[in-house]
Amino acid sequence: MLVVACLVTVSSCRRLTKALPTTRAKQREGRTVELPIEYVRLLETGQSLEERGLSEMGLLKEDALAAVEILKAAGVRILGGDVWTIKDSNYEVTGVWYTDQRPGETDDECTARSWDESSRYIAAYPDPKEEEGVWFVLVPSDGE
């Protein structure tokens, strides 16, 4: 089966879902992370990977790209992400991307670049072989 996805923790998705219909809320390291309700709803369509040993929710590649667009529309910077490949029940990180602020770059410029880099990375990531699954882990900024 060919699967390409974006990951968030199952507990995070459950916590976010309970927050509906408020617009945003998530706790990370004692801070509230604000995320768009459309992003939370997109996560609800994901597949739980708990049975496979990960406390994550998976989204198909198209949904990961849609997640970038939702975060873009809400002005939420994407710090980066990881790519997990699964083959024969073995999970490994096979790619990483991140967007650090460059010297002289404004916050707005860095945020815009984070969306572009995330979209390009996800879209360009090679399709997995038939026996593999690939998941993208997006890390939205907590605004600090």
The secondary structure of the chain in percent helix, strand, coil, rounded to multiples of 5, reads 35, 30, 35
C-alpha to C-alpha distance for 118 and 109, rounded to whole angstroms = 14
pTM for the predicted model, two decimal places: 0.74
Most confident of 14-23, 35-44, 81-90: 35-44
Amino acid at residue number 86: I
pLDDT of residue 140: 82
Q: What is the pLDDT of residues 46-90, one digit of tens each?
A: 766 676 666 666 677 888 899 999 999 999 999 998 777 778 877
Alpha-carbon gap, residue 97 to 116, rounded angstroms: 12
102-142 pLDDT, tens per residue? 999 999 999 999 999 999 999 999 888 877 777 777 778 87
